[in-house]
Structure 1
Amino acid sequence: MDPATIIGLLLAFGAMFTMLFMEGASPSSILLPAPMIIVFFGTIAVGIASGTIKDMLAAAKALPGAFRGKVGNARELVEQLVALAEVARRDGLLALEAEVAGAKDPLVARALQAMADGVDTDELRDMLEDHLMAAERDSAIASKWFNTLGGYAPTVGIIGTVVSLTHVLENLSQPDELGHMIAAAFVATLWGLVSANFIWLPIGARLGRLAELESERMNLAIEGLLAIHSGTPALVLREKLEGLLPQAAKAPSKTGAPVQREDFEAVP
């Protein structure tokens, strides 16, 4: 798990409320139900209207992943592929069918079954690349949906402010209340900006980054699987795949032991 999103959001909102305390204001001055309803519900509503129900459901399904930030371990993938290469060289491609059940990655499992079924290299490449493209397309839907909310939120906040100001203008005969009413009206604009820049856009960017990392891991798997299909020796395959890993993933520690970290783990 990479807690970057959780840490970042806590720091951002912490900074905002710290500013309120330093200015002598109370958090209750901005935690007003009416402006927050128009901003959050209104933004989500127009986000739904701008796409499809399937887009909204895909974004909701992907949301927990943005906070977990978990991406497959590339180092473990390399070790798995090297072990599979040894099996293929020793027992032949048909022996890979017995390894399908133990493959946790759907891409690897599908490729192993295809190799055992006797598909040629071009067909295998096309199949794996189609799987990658489908995964990238699905990931892009969620990221785009949250980025869309980030674009709508400030404008929805302004709409909330304008609606509140019309109520202010109806009460010009009560000058003692005008200051409070005007301040409350601008809370909608505040939450529009805050929700866009503290919530929606960071989540959209986070999902996009996680999708990039997963795409890199899947490309690594594809290269390894195609090499296994062509009969590449395990030692040669290891060198090839380790050359594709990020430098931080292959750098040894001062004691000479490999660095213990989850490769391709999400970063802020």
Structure 2
Amino acid sequence: MFLDVVDLRSFYAQPLGVVTRRLLGRAIRSRLPDVRGLSVLGIGYATPYLGVFREEAERCIALMPAAQGVVRWPSSAPTLAALADEGALPLPTASIDRVVAVHLLEMTPDAAASLREVWRVLAPGGRLLAVVPSRRGVWARLDTTPFGNGRPFSRGQVVRLLREALFTPVGWDEALYFPPVSSRWLLRTAVAWERLGGGLSLPFAGVHIVEATKQLYRPAPVKRPSLVPSLEPVFGQGIPAS
């Protein structure tokens, strides 16, 4: 179930949300270091992380699910955000080079259908960068942040979901090692938490950040050989005359 867009905007306006945006945005940017000449789509509630791409990309837009609601983005320029059904995106096939999905897969009632639509709008060679809450992290256990709402994922679940939608995972990061507590002291040490957690590959990160590429061809099913042995013909004996 999607959070209301007002609640999402309120979270990112708080000190905890500001730190989250800075640390998670740094991890997203490291996965997409150069988008010059590319089209970038943010889906879910990705606008806190799209600003760094807006001046660099050829085109940068945001689509927000109808069940969530939409806010104006950017606030001081012509709007680049629109309301859409995440299972039927209003974009031509193969029209987008990079997709950044945040607060989407854990919220939507049909993550597989959303990924199929992302696959459709991605150009050949296009890439998806998805941010999903980790089942092992503290962030998924507290509903005081958006990452504590919806369905968290294990690494294996994310991989299976992507592969079923014809995506191939090609890169993996984790972020948000510090607890989701609005303590000034803790927020000041958040960068140290990230360095320690990432350097030691600690298991309690708050989110998975997975980069996947569009798979162009559906794998052909492997035909298993028949297990029924072939039978040799047996000729019966003639019936003796009476």
Instruction: Calculate the TM-score normalised by the size of structure 1.
Output: 0.23
> When you count strand as a share of all residues, which structure comes out higher?
2
Where relative contact order (Cα < 8 A, 6+ residues apart) is larger, the structure is 1
Q: Which protein has the larger Cα radius of gyration, Structure 1 or Structure 2? A: 1
TM value normalised by structure 2? 0.25
Higher helix share: 1
